[in-house]
Amino acid sequence: DAGVIQSPRHEVTEMGQEVTLRCKPISGHDYLFWYRQTMMRGLELLIYFNNNVPIDDSGMPEDRFSAKMPNASFSTLKIQPSEPRDSAVYFCASRRRTNTGELFFGEGSRLTVL
Amino acid sequence: AQSVTQLGSHVSVSEGALVLLRCNYSSSVPPYLFWYVQYPNQGLQLLLKYTSAATLVKGINGFEAEFKKSETSFHLTKPSAHMSDAAEYFCAVSVSNDMRFGAGTRLTVKP
């Protein structure tokens, strides 16, 4: 079974540009999570979905960030406009219904905003 | 809200020595606890998890952790470190549907 697939793996962009990160969760997983990892703040939960519905977006930094999950096999995290402080590794993870289940992580998207 | 605190952002041990990575949790209800490992340029992988069964949990690569409610701790141990154990380790807690991670501990293994 394929794992969580994220794209792009690396993105370098200039300040003010729109960035779209993509995630394909593991088939059959009900929950999808977006995390951001930086040296200063560690792993931060940005938002998570249950059955394609956003449940908690309290971790989204500001209105420049938005996330969607149009179907069970695809999610996007968009930053518009991007700023240098958005530079980080963004991880997508998914799991089955029970909260005792492990999260399966993608390999991450490393974003650099110049 | 639940949270975890990892004591020590960096731990260095010699190859063959005991590995001890500390994690304390805060939760108003019985938590589920996890340890994950992250190798460079990779996502996180599950090492082991506690879900209210046995308090001593064994994981992959010879790691284990003990849930101690009285101490609100879930420390990770390995009797003998190997060079391949060098990585970043994260403790995590799940009470509701989300999962919150500690700040991480970077383990260095010296030859």
pLDDT tens string B65-75: 999 999 999 99
Tokens standing for residue B3 = 């949270």
Residue A1: what pLDDT?
Answer: 62
pLDDT at B24: 95
Q: Which H or E run contains A32? A: strand A31-38
Convert A55-83 to b/e letters by CB count within 10 Å (16 or more is b): ebeebbeeeebebebeebeebebebeebe
The residue that leads in pLDDT, A41 or A92, is A92
- Partners of A33 in the beta sheet? A48, A93
Cβ–Cβ below 8 Å for A102 and B104? no
Contacts of B95 in chain A (CB under 8 A): 99
Instruction: Look over chain A and give the mean of its residue pLDDT values, rounded to a whole number.
Output: 94
What is the pLDDT at residue A99?
Answer: 63
pLDDT band of residue A26 (cuts 50, 70, 90) is very high
- Rounded distance, CA B83 to CA A3, Å? 27
Question: What are the tens digits of pLDDT across the range A45-90?
Answer: 999 999 999 999 999 988 999 999 999 999 999 999 999 999 999 9
Specify the pLDDT at position A60.
94
Q: Is 90 exceeded by the pLDDT of residue B108?
A: yes
**Could you tell me how many CB contacts below 8 A there are between chain A and chain B?**
51
Task: Select the residue of A43, A45, A93 nearest B90 (Cβ to Cβ).
Answer: A43
Q: What local confidence, expressed as pLDDT, does residue B47 receive?
A: 96
B17: Cβ contacts below 8 Å, ≥ 6 apart: B80, B81
Residue of B52, B99, B101, B106 to mutate for A, most A C-beta atoms under 10 A: B99
∠ CA A22-A113-A5 to the nearest 5 degrees?
20
Chain A residues 19-78 within an 8 A CB cutoff of chain B? 31, 33, 35, 42-43, 45, 48, 50, 55-56
pLDDT: is A3 or B99 the higher one? Answer: A3
d(CA A23, CA A6): 5
Any A CB within 8 A of B1 CB: no
Q: Chain B: residue nearest A4 by CA?
A: B43
- Mean pLDDT to the nearest integer, B19-38: 91
B31 touching chain A per CB within 8 A: no
Give the length of chain B: 111
Q: Which amino acid is at B51?
A: T
Q: Is A114 on the interface with B (CB under 8 A)?
A: no
